[in-house]
Structure 1
Amino acid sequence: MNEKRLLLSSPHMSEEGFEQQFVKEAFDTNWIAPLGANVDGFENELADYVGINNAAALSSGSAAIHLALKAAGVEKDDIVICQSLTFSATANPIIYQNAIPVFVDSDWETWNMSPTHLRTALEKYPHAKAVLVVHLYGLSANLDEIVDICQEYGVTLIEDAAESLGTTYKNKYTGTFGKYGIYSFNGNKIITTSGGGMLVSDDKKKIEKVRFWATQSRDKARHYQHSEIGFNYRMSNILAGIGRGQLKVLDERIKKKNDIFNYYKDRLSDIQEISFMPENSWNKPNFWLSVITLKTLRSELLIGELEKENIEARPIWKPMHLQPLYENYEFIGGKVAESLFNTGVCLPSDTKLEIEDLERVVETIRRVISHEN
């Protein structure tokens, strides 16, 4: 086995040390926690980058989804229509609010929420409180149709853009089409604060309310007074400093992710067994992860053979409607999400990978497919 471990996606601090500069400033001024100049700066700079008016820096993307649902007025027994093909962090906050998820299938064109099945869901549940769409692996959903359908039914659109920071749909950033947008800065994301998230919206009052909830809903009083349930969801000043430094190299990271995807595509596109994630003229993905699907070869076999070579690879997310936790909730759609789960493989997409590392991945894949065929 090769000694060098090739990772799916790991933290990549800037070579210039931008992150350390902001963190040092926090230490020098003793603004370690809870808030401070880095939190304000990160919120403003992220909002400026994606072209939206307001942002709230939070402890995780999950916290951001939770407070987006709360801001949308989602309460006990409300219906929330949610993309099935996603990580559980998208769906779990629906349960936090004691609401009811209705899961919707993807389409082949985007791998994300099918507008056709979304319309079917809203025809059945016209009083649904929110729609949660995901931009999987940096691929944008079909936002024109989804936005139009949500407007037709008067339902709040929330974008889970945890994996798609820097992705554009028709030259506008994902996360800025719905009433609320969510970004994640988990350790494996395109930029990281080690753990953290951001909720964005053009609604200033709602973002101010989110900040209030996220700081334990402390009323404006000299003593500690609380009139609403609150949460300990704010990002620390230290982590926000890391985020500010990471934001300075986001464009570099997006370019590298694109280079990785294009390398795999160039070196593997001649293999009939392999198909690549969809590309559309209206979408400029960040290609957070490079993903392939297999026609006949079992994905578990390829992942296992890559592991033998010390190469990390993973299946596509298991759809929510197939999860033990959610299998009793309604699912609307066909077999797209299930098929992608059964055939998909996420390849190493770490921005620190060198050409020889990528070639090692390619050679292993070609060897396994040649042997199996």
Structure 2
Amino acid sequence: MKKRIYLSVPHMGGEEETFVRAAFASNWLSTVGPELDAFEREFAARTGRPCVALASGTAALHLGLRLLGVGPGDEVVSPTLTFVASVNPIVYLGARPVFVDAERESWNLDPQRLADLLAARAAQGRLPRAVMVVHLYGQTADMDAILEVCQRHEVPVLEDAAEALGAEYKGRPAGSLASVSAVSFNGNKIITTTSGGMLSALDPRWVEKARFWSQQARDPGIAYHHTEMGYNYRLSNVLAAIGRGQLRVLDDRVRRRREIAFHYRDAFADLPGLTLMPQAPWGLHTNWLSVFLVDPARLGADRDAIIEALAADDIESRPVWKPMHLQPLHAAAEHHGGEIAEDLFQRGICLPSSSSLTDEDLARIIAVVRAVARPRR
């Protein structure tokens, strides 16, 4: 029987087990311990910012929005082309998402549409509480343009780098570009702690506030005394041990994911109508997922036909994220544009991208895609 090929799976580097054994030997198995402290120090050294390790990327977004003062009745601007986990924390806090279309160059939040929206809101005297930027599929948004317009209107920015650890924008690491940021270590990400996330911020006091909230907001002292709402959001020492090992292979994982994306690109170079997601000129794209855009008229097959053919060979693939303004959950939300996001959803396909894929795996995937194509030249 053929083995199943998944979209994106964990890839251990070898040192993870050593650190996990140390965690077990020390008996620090809860949400405190030396591996957790070391993981935060090592992550901060990479991004240049203080950070706090949390139970998920969603938890990091939730606390990040709270740090920016988001609360009931507020508006938060978000790209419509994203995973729902980016948007859910806005609703957790009683706020309302306002969705903005993608731009073609990177598939991320369109800076011009954002500028138009903020100018209109400023004229009405009702600016949003915050703007959330999502770096999609391992590629950063055009942050200079976005930060400039947000600073002009004094609207803070939360950087959702859940999909983009290891990416760069003009030489600066993703997750260090806005005042507060979040990354994810979910099992499908470029490195993983099986589950988990990290919040980073420019202001160390914000990090300590998030740490306080993440530990049930227990006030100092021997009594269990609470004056603020808190959450059970801290990462465990054992999972942090996995993260320490994974950080050591991050650069290798980025290199391999890029190799896989470009291998697909070259293998499909003679097929009209099948193109790799744009590689924006402003930074290093990790290609966390190898995403292609299908032109059915030229390829002779649509996105769904490719997904079905791959599934028949026990190979997992997925569409591009379904835009938030098309989701029943957010049917009543305001949105600006959406045509580009809808087109990318209708024609975009994510191919298997695990850094552990073998040459044989890649050849099998490529053969299936090529077999379903009927190019019209």
User: TM class by shorter-chain length?
Assistant: over 0.9
- For the 8 Å contact 2:307–2:317, the answer to whether it is kept is yes
Deviation at 1:144, TM superposition (A): 1.0
Query: 1:344-363 counterparts in 2 under 5 A?
Result: 344-363=348-367
Among 113, 127, 133, which residue is 1:117 paired with?
113
Q: Which amino acid aligns with 1:65?
A: L
Q: Which runs of 4+ in 1 moved over 4 A?
A: none
Q: Which amino acid aligns with 1:176?
A: S
Aligned twin of 1:224: 224
Deviation at 1:121, TM superposition (A): 2.0
Deviation at 1:85, TM superposition (A): 0.4
Q: Which amino acid aligns with 1:324?
A: P
Is 1:83 matched up with 2:87? Answer: no
| Residues 14-49 of structure 1: CA deviation (Å, up to 9, x unaligned) | 1xx211111111111110102111111111111111
- For the 8 Å contact 1:55–1:199, the answer to whether it is kept is yes
- For the 8 Å contact 2:272–2:375, the answer to whether it is kept is no
| Residues 86-120 of structure 1: CA deviation (Å, up to 9, x unaligned) | 00000000000000110010000010000011112
Deviation at 1:50, TM superposition (A): 1.9
- SS across alignment from 1:370: coil
Aligned twin of 1:100: 96
Aligned twin of 2:32: 35
Query: 1:14-25 counterparts in 2 under 5 A?
Result: 14=13, 17-25=14-22
Q: Which amino acid aligns with 2:345?
A: F
Is 1:51 matched up with 2:48? Answer: yes
Aligned twin of 2:56: 60
- SS across alignment from 1:200: strand
| Residues 144-169 of structure 1: CA deviation (Å, up to 9, x unaligned) | 10010111111111111001000001
Query: 1:245-284 counterparts in 2 under 5 A?
Result: 245-284=245-284
Partners of 1:109 and 1:299 lie apart in 2 by 21
Q: Which segments of 5 or more consecutive residues in structure 2 lack a partner in the other structure?
A: none
Deviation at 1:371, TM superposition (A): 8.1
Query: 1:113-262 counterparts in 2 under 5 A?
Result: 113-126=109-122, 127-262=127-262
- SS across alignment from 1:275: strand
Is 1:314 matched up with 2:310? Answer: no
- For the 8 Å contact 2:273–2:294, the answer to whether it is kept is yes
Identity in percent: 46
| Residues 50-91 of structure 1: CA deviation (Å, up to 9, x unaligned) | 222x10100000000000000000011111000110000000
Aligned twin of 1:287: 287
- SS across alignment from 1:11: coil
Q: Which amino acid aligns with 2:73?
A: D
Partners of 1:114 and 1:92 lie apart in 2 by 21
Q: Which amino acid aligns with 1:77?
A: G
Aligned twin of 1:340: 344
- For the 8 Å contact 1:292–1:344, the answer to whether it is kept is yes
- For the 8 Å contact 1:79–1:125, the answer to whether it is kept is no
Deviation at 1:124, TM superposition (A): 3.1
Aligned twin of 1:9: 8
Partners of 1:344 and 1:42 lie apart in 2 by 36
Q: TM-score, normalised by structure 1?
A: 0.97
Q: Which segments of 5 or more consecutive residues in structure 1 lack a partner in the other structure?
A: none
- For the 8 Å contact 1:50–1:166, the answer to whether it is kept is no
Deviation at 1:139, TM superposition (A): 1.1
Q: TM-score, normalised by structure 2?
A: 0.96
Alignment RMSD: 1.2
